[in-house]
Protein backbone atom coordinates (compact mmCIF):
# COMPACT_ATOMS: atom_id res chain seq x y z
CA UNK A 1 0.00 0.00 0.00
CA UNK A 2 1.39 3.39 -0.99
CA UNK A 3 1.02 5.65 2.05
CA UNK A 4 2.31 8.69 0.15
CA UNK A 5 -0.54 8.77 -2.32
CA UNK A 6 -3.88 9.98 -0.92
CA UNK A 7 -6.86 7.78 -1.65
CA UNK A 8 -9.28 8.97 -4.35
CA UNK A 9 -12.17 11.14 -3.09
CA UNK A 10 -15.59 10.85 -4.62
CA UNK A 11 -16.70 14.11 -6.22
CA UNK A 12 -19.92 15.41 -4.71
CA UNK A 13 -22.94 15.90 -6.90
CA UNK A 14 -23.20 19.72 -7.49
CA UNK A 15 -26.83 19.88 -6.32
CA UNK A 16 -26.05 17.89 -3.18
CA UNK A 17 -22.94 20.01 -2.49
CA UNK A 18 -25.03 23.17 -2.78
CA UNK A 19 -27.59 21.74 -0.36
CA UNK A 20 -24.90 20.85 2.16
CA UNK A 21 -23.54 24.38 1.96
CA UNK A 22 -27.00 25.87 2.53
CA UNK A 23 -27.74 23.64 5.51
CA UNK A 24 -24.33 24.22 7.10
CA UNK A 25 -24.84 27.98 6.81
CA UNK A 26 -28.23 27.64 8.47
CA UNK A 27 -26.68 25.50 11.21
CA UNK A 28 -24.11 28.17 11.97
CA UNK A 29 -26.69 30.94 12.01
CA UNK A 30 -28.85 29.12 14.60
CA UNK A 31 -31.83 31.44 14.82
CA UNK A 32 -34.05 31.16 17.88
CA UNK A 33 -37.67 30.54 16.93
CA UNK A 34 -40.55 29.61 19.22
CA UNK A 35 -41.62 26.01 18.86
CA UNK A 36 -45.00 25.56 17.20
CA UNK A 37 -47.53 22.83 17.63
CA UNK A 38 -48.54 20.66 14.66
CA UNK A 39 -52.23 21.54 14.94
CA UNK A 40 -53.53 19.44 12.06
CA UNK A 41 -53.10 16.25 14.04
CA UNK A 42 -55.48 17.45 16.71
CA UNK A 43 -57.81 19.26 14.33
CA UNK A 44 -58.24 16.34 11.97
CA UNK A 45 -58.39 13.45 14.42
CA UNK A 46 -55.45 11.78 12.69
CA UNK A 47 -53.48 9.11 14.54
CA UNK A 48 -49.92 10.38 14.21
CA UNK A 49 -46.42 9.99 15.58
CA UNK A 50 -44.12 12.99 15.24
CA UNK A 51 -40.92 12.06 13.41
CA UNK A 52 -37.61 13.89 13.88
CA UNK A 53 -36.25 15.28 10.62
CA UNK A 54 -32.51 15.00 9.91
CA UNK A 55 -31.38 17.52 7.31
CA UNK A 56 -27.60 17.08 7.13
CA UNK A 57 -27.47 13.37 6.33
CA UNK A 58 -27.63 12.25 2.75
CA UNK A 59 -30.48 9.74 2.24
CA UNK A 60 -29.23 6.19 2.44
CA UNK A 61 -25.82 7.28 3.73
CA UNK A 62 -25.14 5.98 7.24
CA UNK A 63 -21.34 6.09 7.29
CA UNK A 64 -21.22 5.69 11.06
CA UNK A 65 -22.98 2.31 11.02
CA UNK A 66 -21.10 -0.99 10.78
CA UNK A 67 -20.72 -2.43 7.30
CA UNK A 68 -23.55 -4.79 6.41
CA UNK A 69 -23.32 -8.08 4.60
CA UNK A 70 -24.55 -6.77 1.26
CA UNK A 71 -24.58 -10.19 -0.30
CA UNK A 72 -27.42 -11.24 2.02
CA UNK A 73 -29.51 -8.05 1.92
CA UNK A 74 -32.10 -6.71 -0.50
CA UNK A 75 -31.39 -3.27 -2.01
CA UNK A 76 -33.39 -0.53 -0.30
CA UNK A 77 -36.06 1.27 -2.32
CA UNK A 78 -35.06 4.68 -3.60
CA UNK A 79 -36.93 7.95 -3.95
CA UNK A 80 -38.27 8.58 -7.44
CA UNK A 81 -36.65 11.61 -9.11
CA UNK A 82 -39.67 13.23 -10.74
CA UNK A 83 -38.87 16.45 -12.70
CA UNK A 84 -40.59 19.52 -11.18
CA UNK A 85 -42.58 20.22 -14.34
CA UNK A 86 -44.09 16.71 -14.29
CA UNK A 87 -46.10 17.36 -11.10
CA UNK A 88 -49.44 19.13 -11.24
CA UNK A 89 -49.98 22.34 -9.24
CA UNK A 90 -52.82 22.38 -6.70
CA UNK A 91 -53.89 25.46 -4.74
CA UNK A 92 -54.73 25.16 -1.04
CA UNK A 93 -56.10 28.69 -0.80
CA UNK A 94 -59.70 28.91 0.41
CA UNK A 95 -60.03 32.69 0.52
CA UNK A 96 -59.87 35.48 3.05
CA UNK A 97 -61.29 35.09 6.55
CA UNK A 98 -63.80 37.62 7.81
CA UNK A 99 -62.80 40.22 10.38
CA UNK A 100 -64.88 38.48 13.06
CA UNK A 101 -63.29 35.11 12.29
CA UNK A 102 -59.80 36.61 12.50
CA UNK A 103 -60.52 38.41 15.80
CA UNK A 104 -61.96 35.31 17.45
CA UNK A 105 -59.00 33.16 16.43
CA UNK A 106 -56.52 35.86 17.50
CA UNK A 107 -58.09 36.10 20.96
CA UNK A 108 -57.73 32.34 21.44
CA UNK A 109 -54.19 32.43 20.08
CA UNK A 110 -53.12 35.06 22.60
CA UNK A 111 -55.00 33.53 25.52
CA UNK A 112 -52.18 31.16 26.45
CA UNK A 113 -49.76 34.06 26.77
CA UNK A 114 -51.76 35.91 29.42
CA UNK A 115 -50.52 33.98 32.52
CA UNK A 116 -46.86 34.16 31.53
CA UNK A 117 -44.12 36.14 33.20
CA UNK A 118 -46.22 37.15 36.22
CA UNK A 119 -48.67 38.99 34.03
CA UNK A 120 -45.99 40.71 31.94
CA UNK A 121 -46.68 38.75 28.76
CA UNK A 122 -46.20 40.61 25.44
CA UNK A 123 -49.94 40.40 24.83
CA UNK A 124 -53.23 39.16 26.25
CA UNK A 125 -56.33 37.93 24.51
CA UNK A 126 -57.90 41.39 24.89
CA UNK A 127 -55.15 42.88 22.70
CA UNK A 128 -56.63 41.04 19.73
CA UNK A 129 -59.60 43.42 19.70
CA UNK A 130 -57.41 46.42 18.86
CA UNK A 131 -54.83 44.56 16.77
CA UNK A 132 -54.17 45.32 13.11
CA UNK A 133 -54.82 42.19 11.06
CA UNK A 134 -52.19 42.01 8.33
CA UNK A 135 -53.48 38.84 6.69
CA UNK A 136 -56.05 36.19 7.55
CA UNK A 137 -56.44 33.31 5.10
CA UNK A 138 -58.24 29.99 5.14
CA UNK A 139 -56.01 27.11 4.00
CA UNK A 140 -57.14 23.62 3.05
CA UNK A 141 -55.82 20.92 5.37
CA UNK A 142 -54.26 17.76 4.00
CA UNK A 143 -54.96 15.05 6.60
CA UNK A 144 -57.86 13.63 4.62
CA UNK A 145 -60.46 13.76 7.40
CA UNK A 146 -61.76 16.00 10.15
CA UNK A 147 -61.47 19.79 9.89
CA UNK A 148 -61.25 20.70 6.18
CA UNK A 149 -59.48 24.04 6.67
CA UNK A 150 -57.36 26.07 9.06
CA UNK A 151 -56.96 29.82 9.56
CA UNK A 152 -53.46 31.26 9.12
CA UNK A 153 -53.10 34.89 10.14
CA UNK A 154 -50.60 37.54 11.12
CA UNK A 155 -51.41 40.65 13.11
CA UNK A 156 -49.76 43.44 15.07
CA UNK A 157 -51.00 44.57 18.49
CA UNK A 158 -51.27 48.20 19.53
CA UNK A 159 -47.98 47.79 21.40
CA UNK A 160 -46.22 46.82 18.17
CA UNK A 161 -45.79 43.09 18.73
CA UNK A 162 -46.16 40.90 15.62
CA UNK A 163 -47.77 37.45 15.83
CA UNK A 164 -48.36 34.55 13.48
CA UNK A 165 -51.09 32.09 14.44
CA UNK A 166 -52.48 28.87 13.01
CA UNK A 167 -56.02 28.58 14.26
CA UNK A 168 -55.75 28.94 18.04
CA UNK A 169 -52.03 28.09 18.14
CA UNK A 170 -49.21 30.65 18.35
CA UNK A 171 -46.50 29.86 15.78
CA UNK A 172 -44.04 32.75 16.27
CA UNK A 173 -43.82 36.35 17.41
CA UNK A 174 -41.38 39.26 17.47
CA UNK A 175 -41.35 42.77 18.94
CA UNK A 176 -42.17 44.46 15.63
CA UNK A 177 -43.53 43.71 12.18
CA UNK A 178 -40.22 44.06 10.34
CA UNK A 179 -38.70 41.14 8.45
CA UNK A 180 -36.73 38.80 10.73
CA UNK A 181 -32.96 38.73 10.53
CA UNK A 182 -31.11 36.07 8.58
CA UNK A 183 -33.06 36.48 5.35
CA UNK A 184 -31.39 37.60 2.13
CA UNK A 185 -31.78 37.33 -1.64
CA UNK A 186 -29.84 34.04 -1.76
CA UNK A 187 -31.80 32.55 1.15
CA UNK A 188 -35.20 34.32 1.27
CA UNK A 189 -37.05 31.61 3.25
CA UNK A 190 -36.69 30.29 6.79
CA UNK A 191 -39.10 27.89 8.41
CA UNK A 192 -39.90 24.96 10.66
CA UNK A 193 -40.87 21.47 9.50
CA UNK A 194 -43.08 18.84 11.10
CA UNK A 195 -43.41 15.35 9.67
CA UNK A 196 -46.21 13.13 10.91
CA UNK A 197 -46.78 9.50 10.09
CA UNK A 198 -50.37 8.39 10.17
CA UNK A 199 -52.74 6.00 8.49
CA UNK A 200 -55.73 6.37 6.20
CA UNK A 201 -57.96 3.41 5.38
CA UNK A 202 -55.33 1.14 6.92
CA UNK A 203 -52.49 2.37 4.72
CA UNK A 204 -49.55 4.67 5.60
CA UNK A 205 -50.11 8.39 5.17
CA UNK A 206 -47.29 10.93 5.40
CA UNK A 207 -48.14 14.52 6.32
CA UNK A 208 -45.58 17.31 5.93
CA UNK A 209 -46.24 20.72 7.47
CA UNK A 210 -44.13 23.83 6.91
CA UNK A 211 -44.48 27.10 8.81
CA UNK A 212 -42.24 29.83 7.41
CA UNK A 213 -41.17 33.47 7.18
CA UNK A 214 -39.85 35.11 4.02
CA UNK A 215 -38.62 38.33 2.50
CA UNK A 216 -41.55 40.66 1.65
CA UNK A 217 -41.01 40.01 -2.08
CA UNK A 218 -41.94 36.32 -1.69
CA UNK A 219 -45.69 35.77 -2.01
CA UNK A 220 -46.18 32.11 -2.95
CA UNK A 221 -44.84 28.82 -1.60
CA UNK A 222 -45.20 25.33 -3.04
CA UNK A 223 -44.12 21.93 -1.79
CA UNK A 224 -44.46 18.31 -2.79
CA UNK A 225 -43.54 14.91 -1.36
CA UNK A 226 -41.48 12.48 -3.43
CA UNK A 227 -41.28 8.88 -2.33
CA UNK A 228 -40.46 5.44 -3.64
CA UNK A 229 -43.73 5.29 -5.57
CA UNK A 230 -43.71 8.68 -7.29
CA UNK A 231 -44.50 12.27 -6.31
CA UNK A 232 -47.43 14.23 -4.96
CA UNK A 233 -48.70 17.36 -6.73
CA UNK A 234 -47.16 20.72 -5.92
CA UNK A 235 -49.39 22.06 -3.13
CA UNK A 236 -49.32 25.86 -3.14
CA UNK A 237 -50.43 28.82 -1.02
CA UNK A 238 -50.28 32.55 -1.52
CA UNK A 239 -49.58 34.87 1.39
CA UNK A 240 -48.47 38.37 2.37
CA UNK A 241 -46.67 39.98 5.30
CA UNK A 242 -43.72 37.62 4.85
CA UNK A 243 -45.23 34.62 6.64
CA UNK A 244 -47.30 31.58 5.83
CA UNK A 245 -48.09 27.91 6.29
CA UNK A 246 -48.40 25.00 3.89
CA UNK A 247 -48.92 21.25 4.09
CA UNK A 248 -48.79 18.24 1.82
CA UNK A 249 -49.80 14.60 2.22
CA UNK A 250 -48.95 11.42 0.38
CA UNK A 251 -50.74 8.08 0.84
CA UNK A 252 -48.34 5.15 0.87
CA UNK A 253 -45.27 7.21 1.82
CA UNK A 254 -43.42 6.70 5.09
CA UNK A 255 -41.21 9.07 7.07
CA UNK A 256 -38.04 7.07 6.60
CA UNK A 257 -34.70 8.49 5.58
CA UNK A 258 -33.82 7.48 2.05
CA UNK A 259 -37.43 6.64 1.16
CA UNK A 260 -38.95 10.12 1.01
CA UNK A 261 -37.90 13.70 0.18
CA UNK A 262 -39.75 17.01 0.29
CA UNK A 263 -39.27 19.63 -2.40
CA UNK A 264 -40.04 23.25 -1.55
CA UNK A 265 -39.93 26.30 -3.82
CA UNK A 266 -40.91 29.97 -3.56
CA UNK A 267 -42.07 32.62 -6.04
CA UNK A 268 -41.99 36.43 -5.97
CA UNK A 269 -44.64 38.98 -6.92
CA UNK A 270 -43.74 38.62 -10.62
CA UNK A 271 -44.21 34.85 -10.54
CA UNK A 272 -40.47 34.15 -10.77
CA UNK A 273 -39.09 31.22 -8.79
CA UNK A 274 -36.60 32.69 -6.31
CA UNK A 275 -35.91 29.73 -4.03
CA UNK A 276 -35.88 25.94 -4.04
CA UNK A 277 -34.63 23.32 -1.64
CA UNK A 278 -34.90 19.63 -0.80
CA UNK A 279 -35.56 18.42 2.72
CA UNK A 280 -34.75 14.84 3.63
CA UNK A 281 -36.82 12.81 6.00
Give the range of the structural domain holding residue 276, as residue numbers without chain letter: 89-280
- Bigger pLDDT: 62 vs 173: 173
| Residue 38 in this model has a pLDDT that exceeds 80 | no
According to the model, what pLDDT value does residue 126 have? Answer: 93
Q: Which of 32-36, 85-89, 201-205 has the highest mean pLDDT?
A: 85-89
**What does the alpha-carbon distance between residue 188 and residue 186 come to, in Å, rounded to a whole number?**
6
Q: How many CB atoms lie within 10 A of CB 70?
A: 8
Check: CB of residue 33 under 8 Å from CB of residue 172.
yes
Mean pLDDT of the chain: 78
Over its C-alpha atoms, the chain yields an Rg (Å, rounded) of 21
127-146 tens-digit pLDDT: 999 999 999 999 998 765 45
Structural domain includes residue 67? no
Question: Residue 113: what pLDDT?
Answer: 78
pLDDT in tens, 238-276: 999 999 999 999 999 998 888 999 999 999 999 999 999
Tens of pLDDT, residues 176-201: 877 787 899 999 999 999 898 888 77
Is position 255 within any domain? Answer: yes
Average pLDDT for 74-97:
90
201-222 burial string, b = 16+ CB within 10 Å, else e?
eeebbbbbbbbbbbbeebbbbb
The pLDDT value recorded for residue 215 is 95
- The answer to whether residue 240 is domain-embedded is yes
105 pLDDT band, cuts 50/70/90, is very high
What is the pLDDT, as a whole number, of residue 77?
A: 78
Confidence (pLDDT) at 19: 53
Percent of the chain with pLDDT over 70: 69
> Which has more pLDDT, 13 or 222?
222
Please calculate the CA angle 217-94-192 and round it to the nearest 5 degrees: 55
- Report yes or no: 271 and 265 within 8 Å, Cβ to Cβ: no
Higher pLDDT, residue 120 or 203: 203
Number of other CB atoms surrounding residue 26 within 10 Å: 15
Residue 83 belongs to some domain of the structure: no
Of 183, 186, 168, nearest in space to 110 by CA: 168
Q: Provide the pairing of β-strand 189-200 with 49-51.
A: antiparallel
Residue 173 lies in a domain: yes
Helices (H), the chain: 14-29, 39-44, 99-111
Residue partners of 197: CB distance under 8 A and separation at least 6: 48, 49, 51, 204, 205, 206, 207, 254, 255
Compare 179 and 16 and report the one with higher pLDDT: 179
Residue 146 lies in a domain: yes
Q: What is the pTM assigned to this prediction?
A: 0.73
What's the structural domain count of the chain?
1
Amino acid sequence: MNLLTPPPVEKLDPEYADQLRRELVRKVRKRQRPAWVPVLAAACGMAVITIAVVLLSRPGDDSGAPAANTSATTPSPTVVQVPPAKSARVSLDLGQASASEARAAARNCLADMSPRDNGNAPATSADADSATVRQARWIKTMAGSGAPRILMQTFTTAKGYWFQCLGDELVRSRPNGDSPGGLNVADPVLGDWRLQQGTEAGSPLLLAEYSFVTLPSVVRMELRIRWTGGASPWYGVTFSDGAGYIAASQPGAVAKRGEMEIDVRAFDTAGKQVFSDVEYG
